[in-house]
Structure 1
């Protein structure tokens, strides 16, 4: 067994003993209930850790587990001695948990983004190298069937050399607003949506192009949420403006979120339904950037968070043609449960519509494929499984974009890499 393999890979008959750190939505579902239901021959949950013990108890019931609950992460590691730790806590806390888990001898799967700063990246990378354990980053978009097909087409040279990419992501007024209700609305916790949300998109670009980002120019403004609101309160629950606010969210009516975040707010004071118009919100909601890559490709990217639609548009322009996708996730009209990739070749080479059916599970089957690759040793010919280097580069791209938006100048990836952060940049 090499240092880059999990212990579960060493003996496929043995179930990996894992600790779940963080019992929010993603931890409770993706890495809790769903993982135990579909991969219980590969994993055994031996500990649940969250600073909020009431939330952890509610999550444990939803997960249908009898694993012990801990509020002290180091004590949890010492007592359970897990082979694997899955980190699903707020982004700015990832590095402390990842490093502690690695030093305790565990491999780690972390939710995206891997972390929020160059210094924290350096801590994680150094601990990984020092301990010989592995960090996986949960980039499930790589595993969606349509993403796989696009990467396959690009690798085959279907459009020659890729010279530019147009990439635009749209969050609707449900999903987009949700980031501004939660801890994500503050740079200190999420690094902004250039880091938290766009880390998915920047990672896709890095993986699609098989190249490293070199420099970034960006704009980012707060145009809809925060101080732009006509009124505000502390939270949606018992808000005096509920009847007139388009963004009012009745969390008490949600049978999943209310048990996790209603009463448990008494323990830690965290409101999952905080007002989207809080004056102190300090992240952009409207973002654009231009990225230049080590292979010469240039990218035009945007992220908007208050659209009437949800989904994305991406187009690859190459010396031999163009690949284009418009993926619909939510919109006020019906679409077929499939994606259509348009492949058009230059010089009369023809036009092809490649249909990719959606698969069951989150992210059109991407969540299941990712868990299969990690826990069932599924073949990975296109290197979808993302390591700490991939996690670092996507975060650094977002950090560079935010810094560019703040300063009005182009920012290089190399200049924000602290000493000792050896990524082998191309």
Structure 2
């Protein structure tokens, strides 16, 4: 091996991937090696399902050894970075073990699912001195970055309130009710699993954290609302009449990662969206009051004809508004248009072109931030464990409020250690 090759190898981070589902095998496996091979090499692939792990390893394009036990993996290969893409409710156990083994951790969102697990992770980060990055890729999308800069520039004065409404379509939204996410014990509900993205964006945009949440949630379309039901699409007798029928045989990627592996663990990727044991809401709304006195109106709907969001900031000198379309039946432009409306003045139309890659280029920029040292971060897009905790605690407060029928203060939840302030990143 030449000296140049030795130097290149020495610069690569030794990475272990835990969890080889769609996100782990794709964004943090195959795509990571495709664009960041000079910065990362896999030294382990870990999953409870060995069949899935073997398929994932081949798809990623690595010869890294396979493990089904995190402890054994950490002891054997001593990775520098552990990427956590397992089921949400298992994140804390893996993150804490990795931190205690001296690793840097990159975890998919949500960081975890309960306030108690949040506290455990934060305490482990403080105790070990090792760090957690939470993969909030929406911060890195071009439109999000442009809005952040406008807010920092005080383009509308002081922000007083926010309208934020997210729409999941009948493809993406339904997927959450096919999979393990449909059980609160696994995902914390979509107020945690999905809304953690949105609450994090709010925290980041407003440079503050929520104090109190009042929320409502109900199940109107999925679960017991179905006109019929089965165990899974593959074996269902209602395929010809069900709007949500998913033929996984037409998707080689999903078939590879889930169909054959299901024989080992019984987990089906095409579970019936009308299963009666689904216990999470599909229609949600919340009001949030922030420490800086901004008030927010938020909603999440999961069976819409469109995919995307509507976001508006109301300020003392004007309003910023954007309607982003991610997927729908009608043609949309390859840019987002931000409306910057000034009180007693003109309206500016700011076009932000979409970038290539997932989340309009956000995924690539996130991976650059995490794997290319020295990447500038003037907008504070990189998110640590405290950001992961504060967004997740918004969701936990929303769930608690929904169940109790009253506003819930985040301080009631006990998800932060007393010295959590040392974790704040600039």
Q: Normalising by structure 2, report the TM-score.
A: 0.96
In the TM superposition, residue 12 of structure 1 has moved relative to its aligned partner by 11
Residue equivalent to 2:4: none
User: Is the 8 Å Cα contact of residues 122 and 421 (structure 1) preserved in structure 2?
Assistant: no
Decide which of 354, 361, 368 is 1:358's aligned counterpart: 354
Q: Distance in 2 between matches of 1:424 and 1:100?
A: 23
Q: Distance in 1 between matches of 2:198 and 2:241?
A: 34
Contact 2:183–2:278 (8 Å) recurs in 1 = yes
In structure 1, the partner of 2:316 is 319
* Cross-structure match for 2:3: none
Range with greater deviation from structure 2 (160-169 or 122-131): 122-131
User: Cα–Cα, structure 1 residues 49 and 279, in superposed 2: closer, same or farther, change >3 Å?
Assistant: same
SS at match of 1:194: helix
Counterpart mapping for 1:43-62 below 5 A: 43-62=40-59
Equivalent residue for 2:5?
none
Tell me the equivalent position of 1:248.
245
The one of 329, 349, 353 aligned to 2:326: 329
Query: After the TM superposition, which residues 149-228 of structure 1 pair with which residues of structure 2 at under 5 Å, given as runs?
Result: 149-228=146-225
Structure 1: how far apart are the matches of 2:253 and 2:263?
Answer: 17
CA distance in 2, matches of 1:311, 1:419: 32
Rounded Cα–Cα distance in structure 1 between residues aligned with 2:74 and 2:125: 17
The separation in 2 between residues aligned to 1:312 and 1:104, in whole angstroms, is: 40
Report how far residue 421 of structure 1 moved: 5.1
Q: Does 1:398 pair with 2:384?
A: no
Q: How many residues align?
A: 415
Distance 2:257 2:365 in 1: 27
On the 8 A contact 1:101/1:108 being kept in 2, the answer is: yes
In the alignment, structure 1 residue 346 sits paired with structure 2 residue 343: yes
Pairs within 5 Å for 1:16-415: 16-348=13-345, 350-377=346-373, 378-415=375-412
Query: Shift of residue 216 of structure 1?
Result: 0.3
Q: Deviations over 1:35-86 (max 9, x none)?
A: 0110011111000000000000111111111111000111111111000000
SS at match of 1:256: helix
Query: Is 2:122–2:416's contact at 8 Å kept on the other side of the alignment?
Result: no
SS in 1 for 2:111: coil
Is the 2:157–2:317 contact (alpha carbons within 8 Å) kept by the matching residues of 1?
A: yes
Residues 125 and 421 in structure 1, CA contact (< 8 A), matched pair in contact too: no
Contact 2:122 2:417 (8 Å CA) reproduced: no
Superposed CA offset, 1:299-336 (max 9, x none): 00000000000000000000010000000011111111
Q: CA deviation at 1:130?
A: 1.0
Per-residue deviation, 1:422 = 4.1
User: Could you tell me how far apart the structure 1 residues matched to 2:235 and 2:418 are?
Assistant: 48
Q: Tell me, in whole angstroms, the C-alpha distance in 1 between the residues paired with 2:103 and 2:142.
A: 30
Alpha-carbon distance between aligned partners in 2 of 1:123 and 1:204, rounded to the nearest angstrom: 23
Please name the residue that 1:7 is paired with. none
SS in 2 for 1:67: coil
Alignment partners' CA distance in 1, 2:260 and 2:19 = 17
CA contact (8 A) 2:20 2:52 kept: yes
Provide the residue aligned with 1:8 in structure 2. none
Q: 1:12 to 1:351 in 2, by over 3 A?
A: farther
- Alignment gaps of 5+ in structure 1: 1-10
CA contact (8 A) 2:118 2:416 kept: no
Match in the other structure for 1:416: 413
Structure 1 Cα separation of the partners of residues 154 and 340 of structure 2: 12
Q: For residue 420 of structure 1, report the CA deviation from its aligned partner.
A: 3.1
**Deviation, structure 1 residue 424:** 4.0
Give the structure with the higher percent helix: 2
Following TM superposition, by how much is the alpha carbon of 1:423 offset from its aligned partner in structure 2, in angstroms? 3.5
Secondary structure of the residue that 1:122 maps to in structure 2?
Answer: helix
CA-to-partner distance for each residue in 1:11-49, whole Å, 9 max, x for gaps? 996111010000000000100000011001111100000
3-state SS of 1:201 partner: helix
